[in-house]
Amino acid sequence: MTGEFQGFTPETVEFMWGIRFQNERSWFESHKEVYLKELYRPMQELGRQVQLSMVEHFPKEPWNLKVARIYRDARRLHGRGPYKDHLWFTLVRGDDSAADTHPALWFELTPEGWSCGMGFWCAKASVMECHRQEILRDPKPLLKLERALAHQERFQLDGPEYRRPKPCPQAELTAWFNKKSLSVGHEEGLCELLYTPQLADQLVEDFLFLKPYYDYFSALASKLPTNS
């Protein structure tokens, strides 16, 4: 059982810097208890606390929590060490767990800072084509979301774009129309908030703002053929 999130610690950040520069099994094994105490378990506690709050706000929606493992996939090391120097959790609704077709809400901690947001790790091309077709069919729902985004400063649209811009009939949605994959996120450096229980409250507030964006792209994903 996880307890209540009390905040990360300076030792959390120190461990992440350590694993970045000494990314080998012997160093990790000798610091494994630090990893569990200062990074993994607090991340679990934070994720669980945010998950419970989301369930309280949306009791009919089964929000599932996944905390990343620090171990990299041995098939995808590409010359890197066997451990990640950052960690994250995601919340997805129901079985919306395919990262290339369904969006996620996330929080990520790195040695330099943290981020949170809504989006895809790497959206499947069919998802983004469905996204563009939806803009062409009925741009009003996304226009509403874009205008809400434009009237605040905390979150911004991000993601790789096509080299050759695709013409969008709605000028306000041009940036959305030309994304290969996308996210709506907030990023900042290390700050006092990370070391306090109030980080959970901030993430709940952030995820509530992002919920309509999550709903929009979840609905798009549900329109895809099952073999997409």
Residue 19's CATH number? 3.30.930.20
Please, are residues 134 and 169 in contact by the beta-carbon 8 Å criterion?
no
Task: Tell me whether strands 156-158 and 113-119 are parallel, antiparallel or unpaired.
Answer: unpaired
Cα 47 from Cα 43, distance rounded (Å)? 6
pLDDT of 78 reads 62
Among residues 128, 206, 196, the alpha carbon closest in space to that of 162 is found at 128
8 Å CB contact between 86 and 110: yes
pLDDT for residue 32: 97
Rounded alpha-carbon distances, angstroms, from residue 170 to 10, 35, 134, 137, 204: 47, 48, 12, 11, 32
The residue-averaged pLDDT of 105-113 equals 98
In this model, does residue 73 exceed pLDDT 90? no
Coil, strand or helix at 93: strand
Query: Is residue 226 assigned to a domain?
Result: no
Query: What number is the average pLDDT over the span 10-16?
Result: 98
**Strand arrangement, sheet containing 113-119:** 63-67, 87-93, 104-109, 113-119, 183-189, 156-158
The verdict on residue 51 lying in a domain is yes
Please report whether residue 56 resides in a domain. yes
What pLDDT score does 226 carry? 61
Confidence of residue 135 (pLDDT cuts 50, 70, 90): very high
On whether residue 190 sits in a domain, the answer given is: yes
Domain count, the chain: 1
Beta-sheet strands, E only, within 127-212: 156-158, 183-189
Q: Residue 32 falls within a domain, yes or no?
A: yes
Q: Is 228 inside any structural domain?
A: no
216 residue type, one letter = Y
- The answer as to whether 1 is a domain residue is no
Q: What percent of the chain has pLDDT over 90?
A: 79
Please check the confidence at residue 53 and state whether its pLDDT lies above 60. Answer: yes
Q: What is the pTM of this model?
A: 0.92
Q: What percent of the chain has pLDDT over 70?
A: 92
Please report whether residue 227 resides in a domain. no
Which range (34-48, 54-68, 79-93) has the least confidence? 79-93
Query: Is the pLDDT confidence value at 197 over 60?
Result: yes
Which residue, 73, 118, 110, is CA-closest to 92? 118
Q: Which domain holds residue 46?
A: 10-221
The four Cα atoms 192, 195, 197, 203 give a dihedral, to 10 degrees, of: 70
* Residue 75 in this model has a pLDDT that exceeds 70: no
- Give per-residue pLDDT as tens, 142-191: 999 999 999 999 999 999 999 898 899 999 999 999 999 999 999 999 99
